[in-house]
Structure 1
Amino acid sequence: MTKNQKLVFGSLSGAGGPLTAYAILDLLRDSGFRAPLQVYRALDKLVEYGLVHRLESLNAFVACSHKGCSGHGTAAFAICEKCGLVSEFTPDKAIEALRAWTRDEGFHLSRTTIELRGTCRTCAGVS
């Protein structure tokens, strides 16, 4: 990893939740970051390496919480709409169903991101 990639990854790893590129830029200004392009370049590579995921619905990024995530090409997240908690998980049955469909349809899948939006256990008051 380059210095910039390490800094961006460190900021995401230490965050309590997803961060936008501009939030990362604000965190790293004292480390020499001056332009959004510096953050986006680092994020692009970190996503490519499977170390970071982009949450499309939030236009934000999170550090991967699964080892070897880049190997399976699928990421799934449960996003709480009340507190913002993001939990990464692997829905094996759903992934297999999607792979079967792509195989049957001749669709060449490059990657999959599944985002579930709702309310976490804590916010719902369920124990």
Structure 2
Amino acid sequence: MATPQLTKNQALVMGALTHSDGPLSAYTILDKLRDQGFRAPLQVYRALDKLLEYGLVHRLESLNAFVACACPHEHEHGVTAFTICEGCGQVTELQDEVIEERLSTLARAQEFKTEKTTIEIRGQCKSCAI
């Protein structure tokens, strides 16, 4: 899939996420982009919806926040996993074909059609665990 042409708002939201040190809520993105003309949460949510559809960002359900995809050129993610540090908030995206295949096999055995799988692993990163 070719990289989609982003609208101005989508590009601004993507830039905010790409240059962030951690996940951002929609309201934090709105605050960061007020000087660029963002006035309402709906502007952010519309951009995020498209970026999610394009596979360029991920939503972290437990944080109600968003991160830029670590590998945006691989839009075929079946399973996306994240480690989330409880100490510093660092988020790392993980991909593992073995886990993806195993979960897919388990779902098929239950005659369950999977649409999206996100795994969030919470704990302490190496720096915070010391």
In the superposition, the TM-score normalised over structure 1's length comes to 0.94
- The residue aligned with 2:3 is none
Shift of 1:23: 0.3
Q: Distance in 2 between matches of 1:46 and 1:76?
A: 18
1:49 aligns with 2:47: no
Q: Distance in 2 between matches of 1:40 and 1:113?
A: 20
Please state whether the residue corresponding to 1:110 is helix, strand or coil.
Answer: coil
- What does the per-residue CA deviation read over 1:57-113, in whole Å, with 9 as the maximum and x for residues that have no partner? 000000000143421232110000001000111132221111001222221111111
- The residue aligned with 1:3 is 8
User: Where in structure 2 are the equivalents of 1:4-83 lying within 5 Å?
Assistant: 4-83=9-88
Q: Distance in 2 between matches of 1:74 and 1:36?
A: 29
Q: Distance in 2 between matches of 1:63 and 1:31?
A: 20
Q: CA RMSD in A?
A: 1.0
Deviates more, 1:66-75 or 1:115-124: 66-75
Q: 4+ runs of 1 displaced by more than 3 Å?
A: none
In the superposition, the TM-score normalised over structure 2's length comes to 0.92
User: What percentage of residue pairs aligned between the two structures are identical?
Assistant: 60
Shift of 1:46: 0.4
Q: Is the 8 A contact 2:84 2:123 kept in 1?
A: yes
